[in-house]
Amino acid sequence: MTAPLEWYLVLSAGVFCAGLFGVLVRQSALHFVMAVELMLNAANINLVAFSLEHGNLTGQVFALFGIALAAAEVAIGIGIILVLNRNFDDIDVTEAVTMRW
Amino acid sequence: MVDVFNVVEAIALVPLVSFLLVLALGNRMPKKGALSGIAATGFSLAISLLVVLDLATGGEVYHEELFTFVAGDGAGVELSFGLLVDPLAALMLTIVSLISFLVHIFSLGYMNDEGEIGLRRYYASLSLFTFSMLAFVYSDNLLMAFMFFELVGLCSFLLIGFWFREAGPPSAAKKAFLVTRFGDYFFLVGVVAVFATFGTTAFAGDHSFIVEATHVLEPDATGEMNTFLGLGEQAWITVVGLLVLGGVMGKSAQFPLHTWLPDAMEGPTPVSALIHAATMVAAGVYLVMRMYGFYALSPTALGVIALVGGFTAFFAATMALVKQELKQVLAYSTVSQYGYMMLALGGGGYVGAVFHLTTHAIFKALLFLGAGAVIIAMHHNENMWDMGGLKSRMPVTYWTFLFGSLALAGIFPFAGFWSKDEVLFETLQHALSGEPLLLVGYAFGLLAVVMTAFYTFRMVYLTFHGEPRTDTAASPEPIGWSMKFPLVVLGALSVVGGVLNMGVLKDFIGSENLFLKKWLEGKTISGELGPLSAEEYHHILESDFAAGYEVTELSPLGPGALALVLGLVGLGAAVALYRAPEPTPHMTKLGRIRTLLMNNYYLDEFQVWLATGVTAPLARAANKFDQSGIDGVVNGAGSVSMFTGERFRRIQTGIVTNYAALLSLGLVLLLLVFGFLGGWF
Amino acid sequence: MTDFGTLPDWAALGPALALGFTALALFVADMVYPKRPQRELFAGISVTGGLAGLALSVWYLVAGTGQAESGGAIQLFEGTLVVDGMSLFFATIVTSVVVLVTLASYDYLVDHPHQAEIYSLTLLAATGMVMVGMSNSFVTAFIAIELSSLPSYALVASLKENRGSIEGGLKYFLIGALSSAILAYGISLVYVSTGSLQFGAVTEALSGGVGGILGLGIVMILAGFGFKIAAVPFHFWAPEAYEGAPGPVSAFISSASKAAGFVILFRVFVDVFPYEVVEGTVDWVMAFQAIAIVTMTVANFAALRQEKVKRMLAYSSVGHAGYVLIAVAALTGEASGAFVLGSGMVHLMVYAFMNTGAFLFIALAEHWGIGRRIEDFNGLATQAPFACGAMTLFLLSLAGLPIGGGFFSKLYLLIASVRADVALLAVALVLNSVVSLFYYTRVIKAMWVEDPSDDLEIESQPVGLYTALALAALVTVLLLPGFGIAVEFANTAAKLVVP
Amino acid sequence: MIIEALLAFTLASSMLVFGVPDRYAGKLATGLSAVPLLGSLWMWSEFSSDGNALLADDTVAFGNTVDWFRFTFDTYEWTLQWNVGVDGVSLPLLVLATVLTTLALVSSWTPIDGRQSQFYGLMLLMETALIGVFTTLDFLLWFVFWEAVLIPMYFLIAIWGGPRRKYAAIKFLLYTNLASLVMFVGMFALIFGLGDAISTLGFAEIAQALRGGELSGFAGMEPDTLRLFAFVLLFLGFAVKVPVVPFHTWLPDAHVQAPTPVSVMLAGVLLKMGTYALLRFNFTMLPDVARANAELIAAIGVFSVIYGALLALAQRDLKRIVAYSSISSMGYVILGLVAFSPHGMGGATFQMVSHGLISGLMFMAVGVIYNATHTRMVGDMSGLADRMPYAVGILLVGAFGYMGLPLMSGFAAEVLIFIGAFESTVIGGAPLFTAAAMFGIVIVAGYLLWAMQRTLFGEFAVETDYEIGRAPLHDIAPMFVLIALIIALGVQPDIIYETIQNAVNPLNDPLALVVDLGGELR
């Protein structure tokens, strides 16, 4: 059985918006990163789903790359968040405002 | 004999050389350069006399282009320098160099012996002055005339402001230059207009602008000219004439531009003599004579000239009545006398004008130099009420001064009588044939005669007669030969000057003995004087396409007698009032009027007001507008940008979440816009 | 002209490979000397690598690899990579920046604990940037972009004890992550509607008609690139990142990374989404016109009132992104694509040198430790006339005065916008370049006109930084008379891309 | 090649001067600047061609053309050329520039007492740019030098200037830079309108194409509209440089703040760049637009004359007075240019040279007085003639030169302009415009004499406690040179005027316009 493709789109859009929402409201750096992950995965949903539709593997391959890159991104992110915590004793992204205007 | 015309340029150039010499090494020269000046002017005088002699004995008019100033390259008009030595110019050259020569000599006593400093500057300026004036006199076109006209103005500025360490002279110098500059503005417009109208400004030659203009107006119009602003030909000629007249009125101190002349008394007295008698002031009138053929074409212009002249003659005389300083009286008399010349020119009395110019040059120079002698004697105190009784103490000065005064007052048989009479007579001649303007001018002239005689002898009596009223007057400083010599020469001349043209007696001596008339009509020279001759002028004056004057034949004796009587009346009045050991200041009886006259009708105040009360505020307003208005906009743009910048930086709040929000906002915005444009939904 | 039959096709990737292998070599070297960092060795290796890359790309460029006259673009790996004039042109830009930056780092990192890492991260990022220029499919493009971004985050944050550096890194990272997510989603939508990610294939698929989904995707991709080139409103990370990062790093990301962003932007929008095809759905020329105007205006005006020189330069580099955007914003029907695009490319080339130079001067100032505010530069010229002279040169060239190539490249952009008949664009460019002239001269004034404060004095004249400055200055000046050559390459390269 | 040689040498010597120690810089720079001076004088002596370089071929002297780089656009392909050469318009200005530079350098010895090597280096750098401006005949190349002038000027004002030097310098820089860009846009609109009609951006080619009526529309503008549009942009761009009221406000600030030698260059040469460009572009390339709007332009010129003079009347700072009177004098140039009559254009060009010399003289004299008294305010001093006779004498000469005293170049220039303007057939009501403009000569006499009387004459008194002594010879000498030149040109203008006329007269011929575009030709 196959669900209509539109549903996938709707789903991915939903996930994307959820992620964006998270980005906008969460102050903790970790949550921020997680939210971004959500958005990336939204993209992956599209890719995988439509790779089936289009009958080529490009989408799935790209999805894999996407996951890998997401991992790398998180790795860097965690590192930065660590030093952030070391310097500002906090991982609240809205605290680091020594530079502005 | 070597042809004198080969060296005629030298008449002006030698003084120029002397100027350069004195300027370069004046302080190392004997008498601080006075001698070189004397030598130069003496040389000029000699040459001029030779020229006169030559012309009187059948020489030819000398007219030649010296060099090209701007070639014009075929496309534009050509600007050039040239020489024109006709009888008029020759006469004027002689007068100028003579007066200048004597003034130089006089200065030896007046400046050197007084131990003035800055003599190098003084003599350099004098030489330059002489050079400019001489060059002006023999220039053969209007532009060249204008250029040296201006230089004359410059020199008068330098000389009037000679004592620059005091407050008065610099201001007087500035005034003199500015007022004449104002006149010269119109003159320059006129020059440019002549260029644009006729394509040439030559005075003489077959295609001089004067000839062209005549040909244009003649019934069989053969000449060519452009007119502007949609004016007719005669109208445009009138306009041009009046424009040039502006310069004349400035330099010759005609109402209302006469105000600078009395102030110019701040300069050293010899300079005053030079300015008043022969150079600066004479330049204006001479210019009208130079292009008389042009003015003769326009009755309107002539009328204006006559009226201005007559009025000035009267107007200035009134002010001279009440002055207390010796030189002030003389100054106003100068203004008045030049008024006569203008009156004559306007009234068609070309010869009379030239005649009066000549005699006036002599006796006015004499009077000023005499006054200078008195001033030296009085230790630079000029107030006549502090003098008196100098007659016995400085006889030479007295007698010469007396002759001068008689000439000025127009008493028979002194020079002034003949010339002034000529002026009035010729004006009357044309006036009676229905020229109301001229009649008015003539009336003014007659009134002025009385007053002239009066103030002249008021001056004489206050200065020389009665008892000394101060110690200095009691024991005046003696003056040297260098001052006496010029006085004697001029004194003699002002006695006999009249023989030049005894117009009053022409019925007895016959008109062939009116030397000046013959001279100016070119009877003495070989070849035709053509459009430059007095005859031609009268011809034009009386032809209908031009001024259209008519001559009413009447005997000169009547008017002559009338003028003489009036003069004697004035003289008598003066004698009656001031012939006392201790004369009383009668003029105070005039009360209000006297104050008005003392203040020269407040004309100076009016002009000062024009400058400080009108122009200056205007300038300040413009400046304010410039600073706050225009520049305000410029700087305002700057501050606005700064403000915007300040706002824009604030967008960068530093909080990363806001960044994310703004970023997404921007994205959404783009999406919506293109969603609608692209019609996605 | 070299005949390319002799070399295998993959050799065309030379520049990228050179950089990549250098990075690896650095790791090795670091492993060999774990304890005491070998400044000379590390710097030497990276500079050599950079030079190698530069040499290769210039050689290829001159030899005409992938140019029309030598058989057109070289496609590799099923056409997921492409080497043509444009990619080589940008490879040249990136590699030259790398050379300058690594030279400068030699002094800048003098007592930095982890030098090898920094060098290798720089080179890795550079590899990514070169790859961006060579990528011919959304997959490779995305990967390459990430490869250039991720090391950059780390580089910005590499001063672990410096709050500014950390903060900058954080912001750069967070915004970057967000943008890459958006980019990825956009790409996925493109895939959704076309079923392929290879550029050529996508373009072909477009002929089947363009739908809203695709439009959505295109706009999101635009946003993703917008982050990379720091165009308003995707620029917010830039001021902090540039200000916080170590001097050489700021120089690197502000010049090279921006260039990388632009090359992919050019390629994708000019090549993959041809204006005439997608016009109906997404009028991207209009979008870029709006973005360009907003970018240059906001950035330049914000720069007016900055106190810190580095932050001011950061804004100026955002502003220059706005100028370069004219290259795509002026691609209206009339204008000659090759010329407009070429103008943008050549401006990036000149900009790479003058902007890098300026930031390196800041690095020098940080190295001297004379403070970051404009007043701190007062009278610096009395102490270091040469360096200040170079800085003046960079700034005036950035302002577009005829002392460096910046003069011509800016005029070319102006000409382009005049030609494109987008009055607003031209007006904005003129006004903004005058505004920028004002704030650039503030620094110049401080250095030359103001009197030095008493405690100002310079103890050292680091050889590496000075060499880098001298090189940058030299090239900037030479690009004035030699502008013709640069613009020739740009135009020919652009011709190939523009349909 | 002589021109290249001059450029190269001047540039090289400026670099050299940057290097030498401060105490040698002055003399060295002066010595080096003698070379371009002699070079340009040699060019003068060798110069023999006549005609306008933009209107006809083989009228360019010392010309040299080398392809620089291609400039491909759409279907067009324009070659940018290294294209230099001089004609009767540019050569006098070139000589003016070199002469004034050398004299200004000498006059800097006293006032410039710090960072000399930088100062003299920058001066030579500016001379290089100026030589370039007056000798290049390709638009982009010319624009390089045109803009390059700004850089040294900015530093010269900002570093060695007066109290408000920074403000003045940045104002000058921004204002003129904005103007240049505006002008550039206008010019390229024209170039695109010409399209295939031209193969290079050489002045001559553009001018001939435009006068030949080969302009096609651009950006939705009809040719006529485009001409007007471009003309306006160009005029705006140059009006700032000239400066024409109301774009003049940078000038007084720059002049007053700049040190004496820089003011000399600014008034003497930089302002002439504006009028030179107006002549080259607006009045040579788009004469029909100029003719069609002659009254408006003439009115602008007249207004500049009177307004500038009025402003000068309201100033107390001697330098400001001279600065504002420059605005007035430039107004005459505008009037002369738009007259399109033989003496109009020639007189205007002659006035550029003459005003360069006279204003240079004035600024130097004021500078010398300032060096002695450390004040320039009328009212802070009086009777200076008592203590510094030479400087005062020179100042007087300069002042009378400004007033247009005959036998000095100023008079020749002005009277020529007046004649030209008066008989202009292009300006409707020309006599009235001329008469109005001429009233400037009265006002100028007014404020100059007023200032002279207050400062130079009367009892000696100075507000400052400095010892007032005679000025050193090397301050006075350059001014004597200027006086000599001014009088020489005043007595015999044809020394340069014939050359100028040969070059500008072709511009007056309406028939030279092949077809009539934009307004009927008058």
pLDDT in tens, D406-431: 999 999 999 999 999 998 888 888 99
The yes-or-no verdict on residue B128 having pLDDT over 70 is yes
**How deeply is B324 buried, as exposed, middle or buried, from its count of CB atoms within 10 A (0-12, 13-18, 19+)?**
middle
Interatomic CA distance for residues B357 and B350, integer angstroms: 11
Instruction: Dig out the tokens for D59 from the structure.
Output: 């009228």
Residues of chain D found within 8 Å of residue C431, distances taken between Cβ atoms: 178
Instruction: Give the residue, B126 or D70, on which the prediction is more confident.
Output: B126
CB contact under 8 A, A94 and B649: no
Instruction: Determine the 3-state secondary structure of C248 from DSSP.
Output: helix
The yes-or-no verdict on residue D514 having pLDDT over 60 is no
pLDDT for residue B1: 44
Domain ranges of chain B: 1-216, 298-521+553-584, 606-678
The yes-or-no verdict on residue C2 having pLDDT over 80 is no
Residues of chain B found within 8 Å of residue A93, distances taken between Cβ atoms: 655-657
Residues of chain B found within 8 Å of residue D437, distances taken between Cβ atoms: none
pLDDT band at C395; cut points 50, 70, 90: very high
Hey, which bits of B102-200 come out as E strands? none
**Mean pLDDT to the nearest integer, D194-202:** 87
CB contact under 8 A, A27 and B653: no
Segment holding B203, helix H or strand E: none
Which domains can be identified in chain A, with CATH numbers? 5-88 (1.10.287.3510)
Q: Which phi-psi region, left, alpha or beta, contains residue B72 (left: φ > 0; alpha: ψ -120 to 50)?
A: left
Nearest CA-CA partner of C28 in C127, C116, C124: C116
Nearest CA-CA partner of B16 in B134, B111, B177: B134
Contacts of B206 (CB under 8 A, 6+ apart): none
What dihedral do alpha carbons D509, D510, D512, D513 form, nearest 10°? 160
Interatomic CA distance for residues B313 and B446, integer angstroms: 9
Is D492 touching B (CB cutoff 8 A)?
yes
Instruction: Give the residue, B585 or D501, on which the prediction is more confident.
Output: D501
The yes-or-no verdict on residue A40 having pLDDT over 90 is yes
Nearest CA in chain A to B648: A101
**Residue at C144: amino acid letter:** A
pLDDT band at D518; cut points 50, 70, 90: very low
Instruction: Dig out the tokens for D203 from the structure.
Output: 């002045």
pLDDT of B194-235, one tens digit each? 999 888 888 888 888 888 888 888 888 787 888 888 888 889
The yes-or-no verdict on residue D106 having pLDDT over 50 is yes
Q: What spatial distance separates the first Cα and last Cα of chain D, rounded to whole Å? A: 41
The yes-or-no verdict on residue D513 having pLDDT over 80 is no
Nearest CA-CA partner of B362 in B414, B297, B314, B321: B414
Query: Hey, which chains touch B, using 3+ CB pairs under 8 Å?
Result: A, C, D
Select the residue of C139, C154, C189 nearest A62 (Cβ to Cβ). Answer: C139
A residues 41-70 near B, CB within 8 Å?
Answer: none
Segment holding D76, helix H or strand E: strand D76-86
Residues of chain D found within 8 Å of residue C434, distances taken between Cβ atoms: 174, 177-178, 181
Contact indicator for B330, B465 with CB cutoff of 8 Å: no
For C454-477, letters b (16+ CB in 10 Å) and e give eebeeeeebebbbbbbebbbebbb
**Mean pLDDT to the nearest integer, D76-99:** 90
Interatomic CA distance for residues D101 and B345, integer angstroms: 55
Interatomic CA distance for residues B571 and B452, integer angstroms: 9
pLDDT of C157-185, one tens digit each? 998 888 899 999 999 999 999 999 999 99
Contacts of D162 (CB under 8 A, 6+ apart): D168, D256, D257, D258, D259
Interatomic CA distance for residues B58 and D357, integer angstroms: 50
CB contact under 8 A, B645 and C174: no
Interatomic CA distance for residues D154 and C227, integer angstroms: 37
CB contact under 8 A, D311 and B619: yes
CB contact under 8 A, B649 and A101: yes
pTM: 0.92
pLDDT of B507-522, one tens digit each? 777 777 788 888 888 8
Contact indicator for B342, B361 with CB cutoff of 8 Å: no
Residue with tokens 């430039």: D330
Nearest CA in chain B to D382: B165
pLDDT for residue D475: 87
The yes-or-no verdict on residue B2 having pLDDT over 60 is no
pLDDT of D381-393, one tens digit each? 888 888 888 888 8
> What angle do the packed helices C138-156 and C212-229 form, to 10 degrees?
30
Domain ranges of chain C: 283-499
> Are chains A and D in touch, 3+ Cβ pairs below 8 Å?
no
Is D418 touching C (CB cutoff 8 A)?
no
- The pLDDT mean for chain B works out to 87
Is D58 touching B (CB cutoff 8 A)?
no
Nearest CA in chain D to B153: D405
Is B650 touching A (CB cutoff 8 A)?
yes
What Rg do the C-alpha atoms of chain B give, in angstroms? 31
CA B212 from centroid of its chain's CA atoms: 27
CA D54 from centroid of its chain's CA atoms: 20
The yes-or-no verdict on residue B5 having pLDDT over 80 is no
Instruction: Determine the 3-state secondary structure of A92 from DSSP.
Output: strand
CA C94 from centroid of its chain's CA atoms: 7
Select the residue of D422, D456, D460 nearest B193 (Cβ to Cβ). Answer: D422
CB contact under 8 A, A96 and C181: no
CB contact under 8 A, A93 and B650: no
Interatomic CA distance for residues C54 and C67, integer angstroms: 18
pLDDT band at C245; cut points 50, 70, 90: very high
Interatomic CA distance for residues C191 and A27, integer angstroms: 33
pLDDT band at D130; cut points 50, 70, 90: very high
Q: Which of C296, C401, C417, C480 to mutate to test the interface with D (most CBs of D within 10 A)?
A: C401
pLDDT band at B435; cut points 50, 70, 90: confident
Nearest CA-CA partner of D353 in D100, D36, D53, D39: D100
Is C402 touching D (CB cutoff 8 A)?
yes
pLDDT of D255-311, one tens digit each? 999 999 999 999 999 999 999 999 999 999 998 899 889 999 999 999 999 999 999
Residue with tokens 């816009």: B673
CB contact under 8 A, B75 and D505: yes
Instruction: Determine the 3-state secondary structure of D84 from DSSP.
Output: strand
Residues of chain A found within 8 Å of residue C170, distances taken between Cβ atoms: 29, 80-81, 84, 93, 96
Residues of chain A found within 8 Å of residue B659, distances taken between Cβ atoms: none
Domain ranges of chain D: 295-522
Task: Provide the shortest C-alpha distance from residue A59 to chain B (in Å).
Answer: 24
**For residue D246, is the peptide bond before it cis, meaning its omega torsion is within 30 degrees of 0?**
yes
Predicted ipTM > 0.85 = yes
Interatomic CA distance for residues B325 and B331, integer angstroms: 10
Contact indicator for B97, B44 with CB cutoff of 8 Å: yes
CB contact under 8 A, A101 and B661: no
> What angle do the packed helices B280-290 and B119-137 form, to 10 degrees?
10
Contacts of D255 (CB under 8 A, 6+ apart): D263, D266, D267, D319, D320, D322, D323, D326, D363
Of B18-27, D58-67, D353-362, highest mean pLDDT: D353-362
Task: Give chain C's length.
Answer: 499
Instruction: Dig out the tokens for C57 from the structure.
Output: 């790309």
Is D19 touching C (CB cutoff 8 A)?
no
Kindly tell me the number of DSSP H helices and DSSP E strands found in chain C: 21, 2
**How deeply is B569 buried, as exposed, middle or buried, from its count of CB atoms within 10 A (0-12, 13-18, 19+)?**
middle
Residues of chain C found within 8 Å of residue B660, distances taken between Cβ atoms: 174-175, 178
The yes-or-no verdict on residue C58 having pLDDT over 50 is yes
Contact indicator for B332, B320 with CB cutoff of 8 Å: yes
